[in-house]
Structure 1
Amino acid sequence: MVVVDERWWMMRHGTLVPGSGRPVGDADWPGTPPRVASAAELPPSPSLPRVKVLHVITRLEAGAGGNTLLSAQGMDPARYEVWIAGVPGGPLWARARAAGLRTVEIPGFRHTLTPADLAVLWRLTRLIRRERFTIVHTHSAKGGFLGRVAARLCRTPVVVHTFHGVSFHPYQSRGRRLVYRRLERVTRRFTHRFLAVAPRLAEQVVEERLAPPGAVRVVPSAVDLAHIPERFDPLARRVLGTPRTTALVGTVGRLDHQKAPLDFVRMAAALRAERPDTAFVMIGEGPLEGDVRRLAAELGVDLTLTGHRTDAAWLVAGLDVFVITSLYEGLGRALTEALATARPVVATAVNGVPDLVEHGATGLLVPPADPDGAARAVRWLLDHPHQAADMGRQGRRRARRGFTPQAMCAAVDACYRELLGLPPPAPAPAH
């Protein structure tokens, strides 16, 4: 009878760990993940502290406001506790609260510089000191100045500033340009990282010495495209009240100085002189609405003004050509939405717009303050429908691939993690 030593047999066949005297477990085999107990098997886990982030923005509306809200909503709620502070009023505050964000509408906060800003600075400082934010992330010129000064006074560990556009431009008075340039340069010393919504905008802020070289990262301004049509929508056209046989040219935006709505009216008048069968629509409201109506009547332009519409991004799908006549524009939220619906576009070549609209490929570019040039570009698209459709399809691909909220939030998260010394998130397990 042969007697086999059990320990020798286990070691011989790889079932005993040499030198330990214990059987081989899953953890002893290379590449074998350890067994993880289910949540039901474990005692309850303690709540881990989250990173507190405060976004300070002048106005939570339009492109910059929508971009800020999307980036705040998209952060991992298990890791970040996100707050937003800014000028009271506007429809996006309710959306922010519904998304679970903490909001602070600061009394006395206005979008222009006033003596009351000292009180706003005091309130911001109290808020930051009381809540002990780890990150203060500022947006826009005035919000960026007050937010960064308050963060400096409270010794906030991390300060980030996003450029959604430039705070000064050639169409301002020289004194106003000097003031805003000075405010930006003063507060750049208080900022640990700068973000820009477009490459050309990043280049511009470095050239203007608003940020030091190497400190700016491009995080394209995203748009929630989930509920926007990918092509022309006949129902949107019917809502706009224009027959399909009539060419419809339109725009979306606030009727203010930046968007140059009077240039849109002049463009429409120049186009109608050669294409009298064309209709025009402006979706939006603002302080220049009365001026727009008077100029349209004076020039004999049959123009529809819809006022503010919550479904503006959908209505764009009923246009034949989308136009922006902005004098300055970080990137253009409405422009991104128009491209996403495969609309042929004409846009002014300002700031970050040429990063989105490539002339002859995804649309046509024209100089700012040139309504006759815009009219010629629109007429070309109407006269060349096949080429216009090709541009629309290429624009749709660019908008839907490069400007998603997921990509934007991942870039912001990477910025925060780097500044805090945190590792990148673990990759999702493969299924």
Structure 2
Amino acid sequence: MKRISRDSGHRVTEWPAAPAGVVPPEALPRSPALPRIKVLHVITRFSAGAGAYTLMAAEGLDPNRYEVWVAGVPGGELWPRARAQGLRTVEIPGFRHVLTPADLFVLWRLVRLIRRERFTIVHTHSAKGGFLGRLAAWLCRTPVVVHTYHGVSFHPFMPRLRYRLYRLLERATRRFTDHFLAEAPQLACEVVEHRLAPPAAVEVVPSAVDLGRIPTGFDPAARQALEIGPGEALIGTVGRIDVQKSPLDFVRMAAAVRAWHPDTAYVMVGDGPLKEDVQRLAAELGVEIRITGYRPDAAWLVAGMDLFVITSLYEGLGRALTEALAAARPVVATAVNGVPDLVAHGATGLLGSPADPEGLARAVGWMLDHPAEATTMGKQGRERVREAFAPEAMCDAIDACYRRLLGLSPPPSASVGPPQGVRPV
């Protein structure tokens, strides 16, 4: 059967799906094992949002069709879970988040791995992983190279030289890439505007969350686990305490809000290099910030918060933000990258400008002064997330992307049309 592509006018051949078997499988001779498609995910830091996206994508692929590997920086908290799920893992010595001369050795190790294992698909994530992984795949002539943007690696708050260098590296690897994915429509638009990907070459595949382990509303047990009394409004955030998340702005916001609403408590669920800076600034401003450190149950702890806040300078979509909305938590977030696609101002939360803690404090104060409206926003955010961010939709979209690039037919159960959760840009 042939059809005419509306975009190009070319004829595209569609093979009909194989009919279901009419003989019971146990009555047939044993079928030979078919070769699996080998996929290598290359990611910088195998943790947090991008790491969870990568792991969920790897876990969700059909193990009968795909053999999935993950390579990246040693030491992320997701490596044990990946190995427990049967994924092949390679923690590369010398691989770090920032650019260093050791990256030449990392590139060499990636080239050796790709040549030895003969991967059909190399799927890269994040800035360093994307640059080194795509370059190694190009040197090895890998048939298919896919890159996912979890955020743009350069942003206006970076030093000018670093900004230009990261933008140059991202653009340099554009020609090594067969297809691009992005976590949110606005992020995909930014990728095209910065000429990191050609127009119409980016598909939006939202970062799914494990909805089964997230409460659908406020959970008093989570609040008790955070050791917060019932008489205080709990304002919290979840994430790595680093430059991207701008945790010092969270402290400044908290100090401003506490001046207007003294019966408030503040918690940061996470850990990172700026933890001591946060503690020092909190002491200077006279506001108490409870820092829990890394918690594997962070998605559940969010359900004990009265208000969830992110102060990020850049954010692809924000997995913790998605999890907070899934638990119907009112949210205040910075309007960066893909966040406005998730937080509609006045409908599913409130938005503020990055590096503006006073503005964020005013938004938080408004939420505290209007609890009914805040509750409604949280419920509407929950409806949106639980409808569109299921893991099955994300994994089906990635599988469809791989199949399309390799010329494979969709599975028999797939309906005609674009996969759910994917939106061309």
TM-score, scaled relative to structure 1? 0.91
2:302 equivalent to 1:316 = yes
AA of the residue aligned to 2:402: Y
Separation in structure 1 between the aligned mates of residue 65 and residue 380 of structure 2, nearest angstrom:
37
1:91 is paired with a residue whose SS is: coil
Separation in structure 2 between the aligned mates of residue 334 and residue 272 of structure 1, nearest angstrom:
24
Partner of residue 357, structure 2: 371
**How many angstroms does 1:361 deviate by?**
0.3
Partner of residue 57, structure 1: 43
1:307 is paired with a residue whose SS is: coil
> How do residues 317-332 of structure 1 correspond to structure 2 at under 5 angstroms?
317-332=303-318
**How many angstroms does 1:94 deviate by?**
0.4
Partner of residue 209, structure 2: 223
AA of the residue aligned to 1:87: V
Separation in structure 1 between the aligned mates of residue 187 and residue 304 of structure 2, nearest angstrom:
31
AA of the residue aligned to 1:237: R
Separation in structure 2 between the aligned mates of residue 301 and residue 232 of structure 1, nearest angstrom:
25
Partner of residue 24, structure 2: 38
1:368 is paired with a residue whose SS is: coil
Partner of residue 71, structure 1: 57
**How many angstroms does 1:399 deviate by?**
1.0
Q: Which shifted more, 234-243 or 390-399?
A: 234-243
Separation in structure 1 between the aligned mates of residue 102 and residue 41 of structure 2, nearest angstrom:
20
**How many angstroms does 1:34 deviate by?**
7.8
**How many angstroms does 1:363 deviate by?**
0.3
Partner of residue 129, structure 2: 143
Separation in structure 2 between the aligned mates of residue 155 and residue 345 of structure 1, nearest angstrom:
45
2:407 equivalent to 1:421 = yes
Consecutive unaligned residues of structure 2, counting only runs of 5 or more, are 1-18, 416-425
Q: 1:258 to 1:35 in 2, by over 3 A?
A: closer
Give the aligned length: 397
Q: 1:34 to 1:420 in 2, by over 3 A?
A: closer
Match of 2:90 among 104, 111, 122: 104
2:250 equivalent to 1:264 = yes
Deviation sequence 1:25-76 (CA, Å, 0-9, x none): xxxxxxxx88622122111110001110000001100100000000000001
AA of the residue aligned to 1:39: P
Partner of residue 171, structure 1: 157
2:91 equivalent to 1:129 = no
2:357 equivalent to 1:362 = no
Partner of residue 392, structure 2: 406
Partner of residue 8, structure 1: none
Separation in structure 2 between the aligned mates of residue 86 and residue 419 of structure 1, nearest angstrom:
24
Partner of residue 95, structure 1: 81
The answer to whether the 8 A contact 2:218-2:304 is kept is yes
Match of 1:198 among 171, 184, 195: 184
**How many angstroms does 1:343 deviate by?**
0.3
Q: Percent identity?
A: 73
Displacement over 6 Å in runs of 4+:
none
Separation in structure 2 between the aligned mates of residue 311 and residue 415 of structure 1, nearest angstrom:
31
2:111 equivalent to 1:113 = no
Separation in structure 2 between the aligned mates of residue 94 and residue 202 of structure 1, nearest angstrom:
31
Separation in structure 2 between the aligned mates of residue 378 and residue 144 of structure 1, nearest angstrom:
36
**How many angstroms does 1:337 deviate by?**
0.4
**How many angstroms does 1:245 deviate by?**
2.1
2:123 is paired with a residue whose SS is: strand
**How many angstroms does 1:310 deviate by?**
1.1
**How many angstroms does 1:428 deviate by?**
7.5
1:226 is paired with a residue whose SS is: helix
Partner of residue 18, structure 1: none
Larger Rg: 1
Partner of residue 419, structure 2: none
Partner of residue 3, structure 2: none
Greater relative contact order, per chain length (Cα 8 Å cut-off, separation 6+): 2
AA of the residue aligned to 2:102: A
Match of 2:273 among 264, 284, 287: 287
2:279 equivalent to 1:296 = no
